Chains A and B, each alone.
Chain A
Amino acid sequence: MARRLASHDALRGPAVEIRVADTSVRAFSDESVAAAAVASGTRILGRSLKYHRPRTYFCLEGHCSGCLVRLGGVPNVRACLAPCEPGLEVAGQNAFPSAEIDLLGAVDFVFARGMDHHTLMTSSSILNKLTNKIVRQLSGLGKLPAHRPDHGPPEVESREVDVCVIGAGPAGLAAATACARAGRSTLLVDDQLRPGGSLRADPRTGRAVADARLDAVDAAGAEVLARSTAIGFFPEDGGGVLAVAAPARLYRVHAKAWIWATGGYPVNLPIADNDRPGVIAARAVGRLLVEHGILAGDKIALVEVPEVAADIDALAAALTAAGAEVTRVPLARALGVRGRGWASGLDTRDGRVDCDLVAVAALPAPASEGARQQACEVQLDAAGGGYRIVVDPDGRTTTPNVWACGDVTGYMGPARAAQDGDRIAANLCGEVR
């Protein structure tokens, strides 16, 4: 079972109460709704679109669809990016009668071998019409919002800067600090509840280091937009504008130079039933531990690829120190996840590992889709974790005035990413005046 660690209690914000599935849950104001749900033992948040398989948190950094919930009457909200505000109402989605006991989960068993919905029931027109009706009723995730937005109209603001850095992980924090110190007006955009990226998920750095580096960005004079997502680069609007969405504000950003420091997304590994609740990104397990002082499980099976061994050494040691029993399993030995509602074991070529959590450590997939909208070339590369941005040795992408550093150019880990950010920023400042 997940639990909050007493050793972290002094660091927690004020206690608040939120309501999850009509039950009062104790939380802390600096926790995300997802973190509070984890700590309270809430396991299943919703059901998947096609097979109604149980769904819950996986990445805990706002990039997967695992923790979508209905929040204060608004459907499909990521619980991991929502702060715990007193009295917040959290409800599961797409399940009947509830996310934990969903009768429609029968679909998963009926089509245990999979289903091609394109050719399903096309043999007779009566069956086909019926299928259309049923599928329509089963479709969708959340229900329509309960009310019109009641807050005032959102504001729109513009920013014109020398350098816009996207992503405030180790690479982006270093790059923004260096650019601002070199006298460039610098904007740092980050989509997390608190900037810091993987620093806040890594026991070797953690909250104190992330906060210190964030302070350094401030001290250098860069502007930081937290909880602000770069939603697209539009080359045809206003001479090329990056749109950035904050909870109640839209920013239109123009910059002379851009640095993509978006890192990589935690992804899953291809083992059987890898989508079961209780299968969580290793980085998310680290984030719960390091940022929130929450131990996500007592017996943790860690499935890993060899390239991330150094990161996982640190995580495994910290989890063990916090009281968990950790079993490390190379991906090549892992077969599949056991357990119906929640992972209860991992089948391996060497037998079954009993566990209450499966943490998967894959290479992070470079978050390059924003740079792709600036026409930067990317290349699929297994060792790089996915579609990495192609850069020259100085950090230039294939698009003029667009640079990239850190894991988004191919996996390099947090320490090297910070160095890379620093170095690429220096190169850029030497070139872009």
Chain B
Amino acid sequence: MPGKIVLCRCEDMTLADLEHSVARGYTDIEEVKRYTGFGTGPCQGKECLAVVGLQLARLTGQPPSAIPPFTSRPPLAPTPLRLLARAPDAHRFPDDPPDDE
């Protein structure tokens, strides 16, 4: 049996999954992202967004330029909570302990 053609390795999303999503009517790249999970893993689409976009253009018979990217969400790389917790941007609640605890 021929093997899987993987487009998003983080989420094990295959070309067949993309075809299945399109066949079910989920053709907007945001809908495809939600239905197949592609681009939602640790790499957040770095490896798969362009690949899926080009395949989606082919499957839906559109020029690639008609396929927008899904929304770019921060953080652009996995970021530990401990790093973010010290940013001065944080809102302070009345019961927040002081910074130098």
Closest CB in chain A relative to B83 CB, distance in Å: 5
The answer to whether B83 and A366 touch across the interface, beta carbons within 8 angstroms, is no
Q: Which one, A58, A273, A387, contacts B4 given CB within 8 A?
A: A273
- Check if A398 is an interface residue, CB within 8 A of chain B: no
Q: Which one, B3, B42, B51, B55, contacts A273 given CB within 8 A?
A: B3
Q: Which residues 213-231 in A have Cβ within 8 Å of B in the complex?
A: 229-231
- Check if B10 is an interface residue, CB within 8 A of chain A: yes
The answer to whether A49 and B4 touch across the interface, beta carbons within 8 angstroms, is no
Closest CB in chain B relative to A282 CB, distance in Å: 14
The answer to whether A65 and B87 touch across the interface, beta carbons within 8 angstroms, is no
B15 nearest in chain A by CB position: A270
- Check if A198 is an interface residue, CB within 8 A of chain B: no
Q: Which one, A48, A156, A230, A271, contacts B86 given CB within 8 A?
A: A156
B residues in contact with A51, CB < 8 Å:
4, 12
B residues in contact with A382, CB < 8 Å:
54, 64
B residues in contact with A66, CB < 8 Å:
9
A residues in contact with B1, CB < 8 Å:
112-113
B residues in contact with A59, CB < 8 Å:
47
The answer to whether A63 and B46 touch across the interface, beta carbons within 8 angstroms, is yes
Bound form: Cα–Cα A156–B99 in Å: 12
Q: Which one, B10, B69, B86, B88, contacts A387 given CB within 8 A?
A: B69
B residues in contact with A365, CB < 8 Å:
46-47, 49-51
Looking at the complex, which of A1-9, A129-137, A237-245, A314-322 is the stretch in contact with chain B? A237-245
Take A63-B47, A386-B53 as given contacts and tell me if A272 and B69 are in contact as well, using a CB distance cutoff of 8 Å: no
Bound form: Cα–Cα A275–B9 in Å: 7
Bound form: Cα–Cα A249–B86 in Å: 9
Number of interface residues of A (CB under 8 A): 69
Bound form: Cα–Cα A378–B6 in Å: 25
Q: Which residues 51-87 in B have Cβ within 8 Å of A in the complex?
A: 51, 53-55, 57, 64-65, 67-69, 72, 74-80, 82-84, 86-87
Closest CB in chain A relative to B70 CB, distance in Å: 10
Q: Which residues 30-82 in A have Cβ within 8 Å of B in the complex?
A: 48-51, 53, 55, 58-59, 62-66, 68, 76
- Check if A337 is an interface residue, CB within 8 A of chain B: yes
The answer to whether A232 and B42 touch across the interface, beta carbons within 8 angstroms, is no
- Check if A149 is an interface residue, CB within 8 A of chain B: yes
A385 nearest in chain B by CB position: B50
B residues in contact with A153, CB < 8 Å:
82, 86
The answer to whether A250 and B87 touch across the interface, beta carbons within 8 angstroms, is yes
Bound form: Cα–Cα A141–B68 in Å: 30
Closest CB in chain B relative to A15 CB, distance in Å: 30
- Check if A204 is an interface residue, CB within 8 A of chain B: no
The answer to whether B41 and A65 touch across the interface, beta carbons within 8 angstroms, is yes
A378-392 to B contact mask, C-beta < 8 Å, 1/0: 111110011100000
Interface size range of chain B in the complex: 35 or more
- Check if B28 is an interface residue, CB within 8 A of chain A: no
- Check if A234 is an interface residue, CB within 8 A of chain B: yes
Bound form: Cα–Cα A27–B90 in Å: 41
The answer to whether A55 and B9 touch across the interface, beta carbons within 8 angstroms, is yes
The answer to whether A231 and B53 touch across the interface, beta carbons within 8 angstroms, is no
Closest CB in chain A relative to B34 CB, distance in Å: 10
Closest CB in chain A relative to B57 CB, distance in Å: 7
A residues in contact with B46, CB < 8 Å:
63-64, 265, 365, 367, 369
B residues in contact with A68, CB < 8 Å:
42
Bound form: Cα–Cα A368–B2 in Å: 34
The answer to whether B53 and A243 touch across the interface, beta carbons within 8 angstroms, is no
A residues in contact with B35, CB < 8 Å:
118
A residues in contact with B86, CB < 8 Å:
153-156, 250
Closest CB in chain A relative to B62 CB, distance in Å: 10
The answer to whether B49 and A272 touch across the interface, beta carbons within 8 angstroms, is no
Query: 29 A-B residue contacts at CB 8 Å?
Result: A49-B10, A49-B41, A50-B12, A51-B12, A58-B9, A59-B47, A64-B9, A64-B10, A64-B46, A114-B20, A116-B20, A154-B86, A229-B79, A231-B74, A245-B77, A245-B83, A267-B51, A268-B51, A270-B55, A273-B3, A273-B4, A336-B2, A336-B3, A365-B49, A365-B50, A365-B51, A369-B45, A372-B69, A386-B50
Given contacts A63-B43, A233-B74, A238-B89, 19 further A-B contacts (CB under 8 A): A48-B9, A58-B47, A62-B77, A64-B10, A66-B9, A114-B16, A114-B20, A149-B80, A154-B86, A155-B86, A245-B75, A250-B84, A267-B48, A268-B47, A268-B51, A273-B6, A370-B76, A373-B72, A387-B53
Question: Could you list which residues of chain A lie within 8 angstroms of chain B, going by C-beta atoms?
Answer: 48-51, 53, 55, 58-59, 62-66, 68, 76, 112-114, 116, 118, 141, 149, 153-156, 191, 229-234, 237-238, 243, 245, 248-250, 252, 265-268, 270-275, 336-337, 365-370, 372-373, 378-382, 385-387
